[in-house]
């Protein structure tokens, strides 16, 4: 049996190429569960992998795609039976192990979680790793005691996947959200998602002072670099900054001042190796917090063959919200 997959290859002169290929099932990697994939998504990391813009992929050829939703077709893992609906996020899939931008995947059953009963595969991937990461960020703020009555929450990279879902989830929980974006023309979209106000990301992206006027009760930062440093510097006494991304840069040109003078907490958020119980908690909350209309506002659906061109646009910041890939279209 053969199936369609996106395949990323590296030539001897280290040139990265991505193409749509037909692959025999016997070439699937080792794993105790085989899944027929319904949908995958395009995340920032997939953009890097497909274009070769950063060394996300550890060995070639690689099927990219850090997440998928589908149905189990073979299993020797105790938790999973044929017909089970499952989701996968992270665990190095699409980086070290063949991933979701394909019609089939073979993975470790330890990496899978059950699709929540109130979601279908499409909705789960409309949420995808971006929505799941956004929920981990919101949980990080809540774990540190940040409450809606504490004041404004800043979301950076707001038009991106994680940013869009962060805005929507925070608004659903009653927080007052300020969305920082480089695309002010998309303010109406962010307001519709639940942002109380938008700000130009240029206000945060240049080198700033060690401490600035206290404004944010909490921050979800998708951007890193000066933006994260400035966000920490303007977080209120006792506030929390959840850092998950590096769209501006992986550097953090900050001082310790916000942490030692204002008791600000910098909470790191990782979705790739998060423990299963935390993943299940995040997905349960996502299934009950978000309305289907929210997915529709946030999602663009593409085919597997569109994914190569869309990956380039994603890295240029030209994609709004989420991209769901119908791998069978």
Residue 246 binds ligand NDP, judged by CB under 6 A: yes
Of 45 and 104, which CB lies nearer to ligand NDP in the complex structure? 45
**Beta-carbon neighbour count of residue 142 at 10 Å?**
16
Of 8 and 195, which CB lies nearer to ligand NDP in the complex structure? 195
Q: Determine phi and psi for 53, rounding to 5 degrees.
A: -65, -25
Q: Which residue is nearest to ligand NDP (CB)?
A: 160
Q: How many CA atoms lie within 13 A of 1 on its CB side?
A: 6
How many residues in total does the chain contain? 329
Give the nearest distance from C-beta 25 to ligand NDP in angstroms: 29
Span interacting with ligand NDP, options 12-20, 49-57, 91-99, 156-164, rule CB under 6 A: 156-164
The C-alpha angle with vertex 174 and arms to 172 and 177, in degrees rounded to 5, equals: 90
Residue 310 binds ligand NDP, judged by CB under 6 A: no
Give the nearest distance from C-beta 73 to ligand NDP in angstroms: 28
Near ligand NDP by CB under 6 A: residue from 35, 56, 139, 223: 223
- Cα distances (angstroms) measured from residue 10 to each of 59, 61, 299, 306: 9, 7, 31, 20
Question: Could you tell me where the DSSP H helices lie in 23-80?
Answer: 44-51
Residue 121 binds ligand NDP, judged by CB under 6 A: no
Span interacting with ligand NDP, options 43-51, 52-60, 106-114, 277-285, rule CB under 6 A: 43-51
Near ligand NDP by CB under 6 A: residue from 75, 205, 265, 310: 205
Residue 311 binds ligand NDP, judged by CB under 6 A: no
Give the nearest distance from C-beta 260 to ligand NDP in angstroms: 25
Please state, in angstroms and rounded to a whole number, the distance separating the CA atoms of residues 258 and 238. 9
Burial of 105-121, coded b for 16+ CB within 10 Å and e otherwise, reads bbbbbebbbebbeebeb
Enumerate residues 6+ apart whose C-beta is below 8 A from 164.
130, 134, 158, 190, 193, 298, 320, 321, 322
Near ligand NDP by CB under 6 A: residue from 40, 133, 240, 294: 133
Chain positions contacting ligand NDP, by CB under 6 A: 43-45, 129-130, 133, 157-163, 181-183, 201, 205, 222-223, 227, 244-248, 269-272, 314, 317
């Amino acid at each position: 049996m053969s199936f369609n997959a996106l395949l990323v290859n590296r030539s001897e002169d280290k040139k990265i190429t991505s193409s749509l290929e037909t692959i025999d099932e016997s070439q699937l990697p080792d794993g105790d569960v085989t899944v027929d994939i319904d949908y995958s998504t395009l995340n920032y990391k997939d953009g890097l992998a497909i274009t070769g813009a950063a060394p996300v992929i550890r060995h070639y050829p690689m099927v990219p795609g850090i997440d998928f939703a589908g149905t189990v077709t073979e299993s020797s893992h105790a938790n999973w039976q044929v017909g089970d609906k499952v989701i996968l996020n992270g665990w190095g899939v699409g980086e070290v192990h063949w991933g979701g931008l394909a019609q089939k995947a073979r993975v470790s059953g330890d990496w899978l979680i059950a699709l929540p009963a109130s979601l279908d595969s499409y909705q789960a991937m409309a949420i995808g790793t971006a929505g799941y990461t956004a929920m981990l960020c919101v949980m990080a703020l809540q774990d540190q005691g940040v409450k809606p009555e504490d004041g404004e929450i800043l979301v950076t990279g707001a038009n991106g996947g994680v940013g869009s879902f962060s805005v929507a989830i925070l608004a659903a929980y009653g927080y007052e959200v300020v969305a920082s974006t480089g695309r002010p023309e998309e303010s109406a979209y962010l307001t519709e998602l639940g942002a109380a106000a938008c700000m130009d990301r240029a206000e945060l992206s240049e080198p700033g002072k060690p401490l600035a006027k206290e404004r944010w009760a909490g921050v979800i930062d998708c951007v890193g670099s000066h933006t994260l440093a400035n966000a920490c510097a303007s977080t209120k006494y006792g506030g929390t900054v959840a850092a998950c991304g590096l769209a501006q840069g992986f550097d953090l040109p900050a001082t310790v001042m916000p942490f030692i003078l204002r008791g600000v907490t910098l909470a790191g958020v990782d979705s790739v190796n998060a423990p299963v119980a935390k993943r299940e908690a995040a997905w349960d909350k996502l299934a009950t917090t978000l309305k289907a209309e929210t997915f529709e506002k946030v999602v663009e659906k593409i085919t597997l063959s569109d994914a190569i061109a869309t990956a380039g646009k994603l890295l240029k910041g030209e994609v709004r919200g989420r991209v769901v890939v119908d791998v069978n279209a």
